[in-house]
Structure 1
């Protein structure tokens, strides 16, 4: 059963319509009130709607650019210890792997055969000396008889020849004594250099043989570690770059090396050798640096990364690597003008160090670079800015002026 709708009175409106009209009136009134507010409040409301970004000025620093190389450490001197006389080893006077000094006794060879040979040589020298003395005495007596014609000229010549022969025999005997003395001295095998000795290859009781050109018995090896060499192969392109950038005194080129477990380049030295030609098979040239190693920490065979200064220090601008953006083939950063407008700067980048990237071109020292909130910044729009202290950026507080080379690893 349906109930008839009561007739509406003329001039009345539904309740929902009246509510809608009321809301529209309030909105209109609010808009009018905001339009009529003083200018400062209107600007504050407009500014509150602008995005906030962090900005920082580029860091200005004198930097040295480096080229990176890979190489290994080598002993500055390496000696294979071999005996200079043959015989039986009767003593070993060092511990395997210890540091030995130049002239330190390492091995003893049985000296008795050489002592006997030395005594025999001394006896031969005494005999030759006695014969020479007799020859000289005979010549002196004969010369006194020459005036009385009691001796012929030929006899005088024979006596003089005996003196000369005796003199030669004495010289030969002296040489044999010196040789046997050396052989006796060589029974004590001493270290020719200061360095770290390897393990002994021969124990006491074994016979060892002397020889030339490495044919003798090898007793041990010694490596000189202070200073130590770092050898590496440089490509033709890096070699040309380094040579063109060097000062006239190329031997003073500075290098720095870091080991595999080290974050920083803590070992410093000088480039002291460049080979006399490029290997045509590999297109590289062998180079060497000398590094001080007073604590003997570095040892031959260690692998290391080295950087070579490619020029003198020069002023440069650096920004956080995170501020760099890639726009297809361009590298750009966002900056904020004095009026608060976001601008796009195309830049040319250099190497990276400690989170900072060298900017070679496209940026000025007074440009305010957006380092935070880039997602809210659109080119050509207005933004609010807050300064970002340089020291709070990654690496911006680092005063190290040495910049590593290599290809840039751009942030995306």
Structure 2
């Protein structure tokens, strides 16, 4: 009986132990499988290029604002009710185009009255002239007294003055009638109508609309004192006495727009240590709208050594820029960098790289983390950029 019990127990242990051993073996293989797979995978094939060291022209960058060369507030020069708005709000208009019409009927009547007064004054002057000439002919024969002749001459002179006064009244009435048609004083874009049909416009008070010119435009910026001194020296050396700037809007990648500085203020702001400067830009495509934020780049007047790489090598991690550099053990090592502007198709690196560094520019999709083994193939930096 005892022997039979021992045999049963041994059978149970054998049945249970075999699966447990199999499970243990399976777990050991699973735990080491990934490491083994990584150690067995071949190095990622990548293209590397040595950073390019080159002397480049340095530029200073400032914040600026676009402003209009001409900006006008359109007001009525006569009082009256608006009878017509002759332009489409926001459209460009030419100088002399009619924008608003003020009710002209009172001014037409005033012109007719002034014209009638002028005709009356001319008739009176004609009569006074005839009487004066008659008195002058009769005076030698004493047919009229000297007093009478002098009175007739004075009446004629007074009637001539009345004619001049009536002519001025007609001219003023014509001006007022012309002012009932409010015209654009400049070429530019008109804003929204502040007064619509049926509203009263008060002379020289009521704002009807506003206009800004479109081409060219200004960009205003405020360089610091040190930059201003360098620019002043550059202007003294420049034969044309003009300083060039490059301008980009908020969404632009590069500084494609070129302008010339045509104004600098007469004093430095002691509170901010800056001085106002202004450049003029062409705007044929109406890209620039007054009030837009702009970035202004001005030549600093000196050159320096700079590190340049292919723009494809620069990667983004949230708000950080980085590249992968080839280490001595043929692994890809992450390096945070501060990129600058472009120069001759390459990206200028302000900090993070030095001469002799080899940057990975191709096969970056095969690198998953810093320290990944790679198999480099070296190519020239300029050829890679092209």
| TM-score w.r.t. length of structure 1 | 0.64
Unaligned runs of 5+ in 2: 1-46, 311-339, 361-376
Q: Distance in 2 between matches of 1:373 and 1:191?
A: 60
1:230 aligned partner: 219
- Tell me which residue corresponds to 1:221: 210
SS at match of 1:263: coil
Aligned residues: 292
Within 5 Å, which residues of 2 pair with 1:50-199? Answer: 63-199=56-192
Q: 1:391 aligns with which of 376, 382, 385?
A: 382
Deviation at 1:161, TM superposition (A): 1.1
- Is the 8 Å Cα contact of residues 51 and 359 (structure 2) preserved in structure 1? no
Q: Which residue of 2 aligns with 1:6?
A: none
* Structure 2 counterpart of 1:239: 228
Shift of 1:113: 0.2
Deviation of 1:129 after TM superposition, in Å, equals: 0.7
Gaps of 5+ in 1: 1-52, 323-350, 364-368, 375-385, 398-412
CA distance in 1, matches of 2:49, 2:85: 71
1:4 alignment counterpart? none
Q: Which residue of 2 aligns with 1:9?
A: none
Deviation at 1:178, TM superposition (A): 0.4
Counterparts of 1:233 and 1:142, CA distance in 2? 78
Residue 41 of structure 1 corresponds to which residue in structure 2?
Answer: none
Partner Cα separation in structure 2 for residue 69 and residue 285 of structure 1: 12
User: In structure 2, which of residues 198, 206, 220 is the aligned counterpart of residue 205 of structure 1?
Assistant: 198
Task: Report the secondary structure of 2:64's partner residue.
Answer: strand
Alignment partners' CA distance in 1, 2:179 and 2:238 = 47
Partners of 1:66 and 1:129 in 2: how far apart?
A: 74
Change (3 A) 1:393 1:243: farther
**1:271 correspondence with 2:257:** no
Per-residue Cα deviation, 1:292-328 (whole angstroms, up to 9, x for no partner): 101212101111111112338x7x7654369xxxxxx
Aligned to 1:355: 347
Q: Secondary structure at the match of 2:76?
A: coil
Residues 259 and 352 from structure 1, CA distance in 2 versus in 1: closer, same or farther, beyond 3 angstroms?
closer
> How much has 1:243 moved relative to structure 2?
1.1
Q: Output the CA distance in 2 between the equivalents of 1:210 and 1:393.
A: 68
Q: 268, 285, 308: which one pairs with 1:320?
A: 308
- What is the rounded CA distance, in whole Å, between the counterparts of 2:152 and 2:193 in structure 1? 58
User: Is the contact between residue 275 and residue 286 of structure 1 (CA under 8 Å) also seen in structure 2?
Assistant: yes
Match of 1:372 among 350, 353, 358: 358
C-alpha displacement at 1:110, in angstroms? Answer: 0.5
- Matched residue, 1:284: 274
How large is the RMSD of aligned CA atoms in angstroms? 3.0
The alpha-carbon deviation at position 54 of structure 1 amounts to 7.5
